[in-house]
Amino acid sequence: MKKSMNYLMLFAAFSISLSGVAQKKVKSFKVEKVIDLPAEKIWSVIDDYGSVAYSHPKILASNYINGSLKAEEGAERVCYFNEKHTQFLEEKMMNYNPADMTFVNQVSQAGKFPVDPELTRAVYKVEDLGNGSSKISFDMQFRTKPAMMGGMMKGNFKNLIEDYFIAIEHYARTGEAVTQENFKEIKKQYKA
């Protein structure tokens, strides 16, 4: 009995060590921004899932795909980053909770982007801070292909999301679509 218990413990230890080796490492970061607008107003921009191109300075076009028609659990979209549509991300909305103003955005395909779709996702959250202000957060984990690019890409991704938050604020305030062409001037208005 004691001998079989030792074998069982050895097997368990070996299994645990193998699972650690097989598990791929991901990078992560979190960006937050306090905005002097009600949470519902900010959520309405983010919740317009298929129209993210109106509030993102790097996305040229975006659409719902695979039968999705609105933001909801399982909704899917494509985001194009160039005119030829060769640089794109296909994403899926998961753990959608509009009452708590949060969802997980899972990348499902990445055309010409150096990320591993299975290990790239972000949690969006909008919090009501009272007095007509809110906080938006974007908590991302990702893995690049090749993995050694992760450190270099982390700063780029973080800067991209910081710009995205400025664009969300501008779009929520004005209704003006944010584009690559007008973002430089917009950013000057919101940078302190």
pTM (2 d.p.) = 0.86
Q: What is the pLDDT of residue 30?
A: 98
pLDDT at 147: 87
Distance CA 144, CA 76 (A): 22
User: If phi over 0 gives left and psi between -120 and 50 gives alpha, with beta otherwise, what is residue 180?
Assistant: alpha
- Local structure of 185: helix, strand or coil: helix
Query: Is residue 169 within 8 Å of residue 185, measured between CB atoms?
Result: no
User: DSSP states of 1-61 as a string?
Assistant: -HHHHHHHHHHHHHHHHHHHHHSPP-EEEEEEEEESS-HHHHHHHHT-GGGGGGG-TT-SE
- Report how far residue 182's alpha carbon sits from residue 126's, in angstroms, rounded to the nearest whole number: 25
**For residue 105, what are the β-bridge partners?**
93, 122
Domain ranges, ordered by start, for the chain: 25-190
**Residue 43 pLDDT:** 98
- Cα–Cα distance for residue pair 140/162, rounded to 1 Å: 13
The alpha-carbon radius of gyration of the chain (Å, integer) is 20
How is domain 25-190 classified at the architecture level of CATH?
A: 2-Layer Sandwich (3.30)
pLDDT digits (tens), the chain, 192 positions: 544 444 344 344 434 433 443 578 999 999 999 999 999 999 999 999 999 999 999 999 999 999 999 999 999 999 999 999 999 999 999 999 999 999 999 999 999 889 999 999 999 999 999 999 999 999 999 999 898 899 889 999 999 999 999 999 999 999 999 999 999 999 999 975
In whole angstroms, what is the distance from residue 32 CA to residue 136 CA? 6
> Would you say 142 and 30 are in contact if contact means Cβ atoms under 8 Å apart?
no
**Close Cβ partners of 125 (under 8 Å, ≥ 6 residues apart):** 100, 101, 102, 136, 137, 139
CA distance 64 to 115: 21
Residue 132 DSSP code: T
Please name the residues in contact with 105: beta carbons below 8 A apart, sequence gap of 6 or more. Answer: 91, 92, 93, 94, 121, 122, 123, 124
